[in-house]
Structure 1
């Protein structure tokens, strides 16, 4: 069994440039940019504590103590997690214009906790797989690819989501690996283009410019990758539901007495 990789990538791209895809991109960019500026602010604050004011290029508006920055960064991180969960829900649905409020609120605490804990467990499992001659790591990465979708959309806990993803990807893992490579290459291309912003780094202004370019690339690739993941999930889920429907129909036909 296989999936049309090119078609899924195209659908993912179309969902990315729909109105709500662009809004999600803007929100992710804004949150990530502010978080990055906090990092620069902490660096400026630490430099201002070590040197005399005249010996460091510092903007007073960017001088933020580490404790304050940590608190703000934590809040922003939680916000980014909520947006990421909502993005999965948006792209799995047929909604292309709005960002329904329920996608940001429905069981969001439960989903967030499972995404955080699940990501740690997922990372450990895949890392152990890569240690075991790489191939097992790639296999696990593909087989468990949709666990976050099951957590966000189906409200499953991460353990059940691992099992659901394992079952859903059965028979499609080589195609999904090919899809993953395609997304990885496109992501690398976008990062390479926006990576030109690094040429401006070296001064405070240059670092900010480089940060803007880097976070723009990150927002684009994050939304695109999520859209592709959701599109692939939707197609496989539809096939799975159809296969189950056929099985039930065949079973009921077999059990029916002949006329």
Structure 2
């Protein structure tokens, strides 16, 4: 016994790297494939097409809209991460100078501020996919338009989003008590149904607060 653990054989490291790359690639591809589905769903809910989905909703600039939504999602993720981390940055200089209950209080304030700012930014960019799907906005324009569109409505939108999150949690949480794989097969349709319901509700909210309610539906047919 030398006290030094032997390094894993080189052949064992390669499969782990390949598995990690494969998982990352799978997530990226699946996310990319889901984006056009969300775009078509948003167009259908905004256009109030319940019996069928018009061809224009499926094929109209779907490639451009998919790329724009994907890029806007990355930009939003970057902004959210920066906002989430920002309140904790001052703690770096406080370590060693503040201790005890004061340090605990500062940490709690940083956590609370981080949660509030993250929720605020998420609400501000709630309609980036809607502006891309309906108004053919680019990534930067979608962020700017969503920010402007939510002004004056952010508190109500937050309450709506919080309520939907609570409802989804209450409905899906009991499935965790079911044995596998039964819990998975029960949770999957419930989650899908609640996701569709949320998309429909937020699409209606988008139309309700939009200053050009009639015009946005006409754009879907042009």
**Structure 2: runs of 5 or more not aligned:** 1-20, 88-112, 214-222
In 2, the alpha carbon distance for the partners of 1:136 and 1:74 equals 27
* Offset of residue 220 of structure 1: 1.4
Per the alignment, residue 241 of structure 1 pairs with 212
1:223-247 deviation digits (Å, cap 9, x = unpaired): 111111101100001xx238xxxxx
Report the 3-state secondary structure (helix = DSSP H, G, I; strand = E; otherwise coil) of the residue aligned with 2:48.
Answer: coil
CA distance in 1 between partners of 2:52 and 2:174 (Å): 30
Q: Aligned with 1:200: secondary structure? A: coil
Q: 2:191 aligns with which of 210, 213, 218?
A: 218
Superposition RMSD in Å: 2.8
Quote how far apart the aligned CAs of 1:168 are. Answer: 0.9
The verdict on how the C-alpha distance between 1:168 and 1:77 changes in structure 2, with shifts beyond 3 A counting, is closer
Per-residue deviation, 1:72: 8.7
1:87-98 residue pairs with structure 2 within 5 A? 87-98=41-52
- Can you list the C-alpha shifts for 1:46-75, whole angstroms capped at 9, x where unaligned? xxxxxxxxxxxxxxxxxxxxx999999877
Picking from 179, 183, 186, the partner of 1:200 is 179
State the TM-score, normalized to the length of structure 2. 0.66
State the partner residue of 1:178: 159
Q: Do the aligned partners of 2:72 and 2:142 also contact (CA within 8 Å) in 1?
A: no
TM-score for the superposition, normalised by structure 1:
0.58
| Corresponding pairs, count | 168
Query: Do residues 231 (structure 1) and 210 (structure 2) align?
Result: no
Partner of 1:159: 140
Distance 2:136 2:52 in 1: 22
